[in-house]
Amino acid sequence: MKQFKSMAYPYIVWISLLIVVPMLLILVYAFTTTGNSVTTIKFSLANFAKFFSDVIFLDVLRRSLLIAVATTVVCIILGYPAAYIIANAEGRKKFMLILLVTIPTWINMLVRTYAWMGILQDDGIINTVLSFLGIGPFKMLHTSFAVILGMVYNFIPFMILQIYTSLTKMDKSLLEAASDLGANRVQAFLRVTLPLSLPGVISGITLVFLPAVSSFFIPKLLGGGQYVLIGNVIENQFLTSGNWNFGSAISLIMAVIIMISMYITKKIDKGESMEGGVKK
C-alpha cells in the first residue's frame, strides 16, 4: 500500500507553486512599497498607513461591511423560513424544492446579475407593475437597494441549503419529547429546533458574508460605475492604476476582517450553546 503514497507528491509541488507562493506574494507586496522586483524589497507599512489615513477608503470599507451585513441579515430572514418549509415537505416535493433552489446556483452569476439590470430599470418590469398599481415608479437600478438585492439573489441559496441540511439532520423525536413535556409548537421551535439549526445558520453566514464583502461585479453592474465597494477598489488597483502594493495591502486588510468576523460568529455560536447547556 505504501507505493501509493508517492502519488500525492506531484500535487504537493503544484500547490507550493500555485497556492503557497502566490499567497506569499500578497504578503511581500503588501509590506513593501517598491518591491516590484525581488532585489529592491524594502519593508514598509506605508500601504496600510495610506489606507487607514484616507477617509475615502475607510468610507468604502464601512459601506462594504454594511452592505454585506445587510445582505446576510436578509438572507437569514428569508432563507430560514424557506429552509424550514422545505425540510418539512414530503419526499418528492422536498426533492423538487431542493432541486429548484440548487439550479440557479449552477447558472452563471454574471448572466443572472445582468438580467436584473433589465428588470430593475426605470421602465423595467417591476416599475411597470408598480405604476399599474398606482405606486412608483421608483429609481431602483444604481442604488444600494439594487446592490443588496443582487447579493441576496446570488447568495441566498447557500444559506437555504446550509440551514436545510442542519434541519434535516435534527432528531425529530426531540420535538415529540418537547410536546410530551408540554411545550407548544412555538416553544418547541424556539427551544429545540432553532438552537439545533444554529450551526447551519452559522455556516450559511460564512457562505453569504464572505462573497458579499469581496464582491465587485454586483456593485459594478447593479450599483453603476460610481458605486464603489472594497472589491472594486482592489480591482482598480490591479487592473487600472497598477498599484499592486496598495492593492495587496487592501486585500490583506479585507482577508483579516473576514477572518475576525468569522471568528466572532463562531464564538457567539459556541457561547450560546454553552449558555443553553447551563440552563438545562
Partner 1 sequence: MKKRSKIFSKLFMLCIMVFFYMPIVYTVVFSFNSKKSLTHWSGFSLRWYDKMFSNATMMDALGTTVTVAVLATIISTIVGTITAIGLSKSNKVLKALVERINDFPIMNPEIVTAISLLMFFSALGVQKGYITMLIAHIMFCIPYVMLSVAPKLRSLDPNLADAALDLGATPYQALIKVIIPQIMPGVVSGALVAFTMSFDDFIISYFVTGNGVSNISILVYTMSKRINPSINALSTIIILVITVVLVLINIVPVLRKWGGVKEQ
Contacts to partner 1 from residues 154-173, by CB under 8 A: 157
Does 107 bind partner 1 (CB under 8 A)? Our answer is yes
Residues 216, 232 contacting (CB under 8 angstroms): yes
Region binding partner 1 by CB under 8 A among candidate stretches 40-48, 164-172, 192-200, 211-219:
211-219
Compose the 67-106 pattern: x for residues touching partner 1 by CB under 8 A, - for all others.
Answer: -----------x--xx--xx--------x-x-xxxxxx-x
Q: Of 58 and 103, which has the nearer Cβ to partner 1?
A: 103
Does 182 bind partner 1 (CB under 8 A)? Our answer is no
Taking CB under 8 A as the criterion, the residue among 39, 123, 133, 279 binding partner 1 is 123
Residues 254-273 within binding reach of partner 1 (CB under 8 A): 254-255, 258
Region binding partner 1 by CB under 8 A among candidate stretches 2-10, 69-77, 132-140, 269-277:
2-10
Rounded to an integer, what distance in angstroms lies between the CA atom of residue 231 and that of residue 217?
8
Q: Of 118 and 276, which has the nearer Cβ to partner 1?
A: 118
Q: Of 42 and 276, which has the nearer Cβ to partner 1?
A: 42
Residues 228, 60 contacting (CB under 8 angstroms): yes
Counted residue by residue, the chain has a size of 280
Work out the number of other CB atoms within 10 angstroms of the CB of residue 113. Answer: 19
Does 183 bind partner 1 (CB under 8 A)? Our answer is no
CA distances from 35 to 39, 195, 244, 251 (A): 8, 50, 9, 17
| Interhelix angle 125-132/109-119, nearest 10 degrees | 30
Rounded to an integer, what distance in angstroms lies between the CA atom of residue 81 and that of residue 88?
11
